[in-house]
């Protein structure tokens, strides 16, 4: 695992479902002093209401990264280089993790790897 973590939608869904694996990863990161990053689009994909108690608990210790015009352009450029069509939110996950040099905790490692590969880069992933 690299220094930081980026969570995709699969990680947030796993947390809401109270799956042990995501909580073990999350706690280990926090103990190491790492603040996981959640791209704003990921939050939009997963958030439904304030009654998502486990999701709220996870997010308390995360940084939600806004999607501004520059980040959106870089994510779009990754989509243009990718051999598959993973979607804009996955592209924003990959863009941020590449920029920060972070590991992605993901429910869809194939999409994240394909986005990085299209740019000629590698991303470490932790499948959920």
Which CATH number goes with the domain that contains 72? 3.40.50.1010
Query: DSSP assignment, residue 66?
Result: P
Of residues 82 and 2, which shows the higher confidence score?
82
Count of domains for the chain: 1
Q: What share of the chain is helix, strand, coil (3-state, %, to 5)?
A: 55, 10, 35
Taking residues 96-104, report their average pLDDT: 98
pLDDT reported for residue 5: 98
Q: Please tell me the pTM assigned to this model.
A: 0.94
Domain range for residue 114? Answer: 5-127
Q: What is the pLDDT of residues 52-98, one digit of tens each?
A: 999 999 999 999 999 999 999 999 999 999 999 999 999 999 999 99
């Amino acid at each position: 695992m690299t220094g930081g973590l980026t969570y995709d939608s699969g990680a947030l869904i796993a947390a809401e479902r109270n799956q042990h694996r995501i909580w073990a990863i999350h706690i280990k990161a926090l103990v190491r002093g790492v603040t996981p990053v959640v791209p704003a689009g990921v939050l939009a994909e997963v958030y439904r209401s304030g009654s998502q108690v486990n999701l709220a608990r996870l997010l308390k210790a995360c940084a939600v990264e806004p999607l501004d015009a520059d980040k959106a352009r870089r994510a779009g450029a990754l989509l243009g280089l990718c051999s598959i069509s993973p979607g804009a939110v996955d592209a924003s996950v990959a863009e941020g993790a590449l920029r920060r040099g972070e590991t992605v905790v993901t429910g869809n490692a194939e999409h994240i790897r394909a986005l990085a590969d299209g740019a000629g880069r590698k991303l470490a992933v932790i499948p959920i």
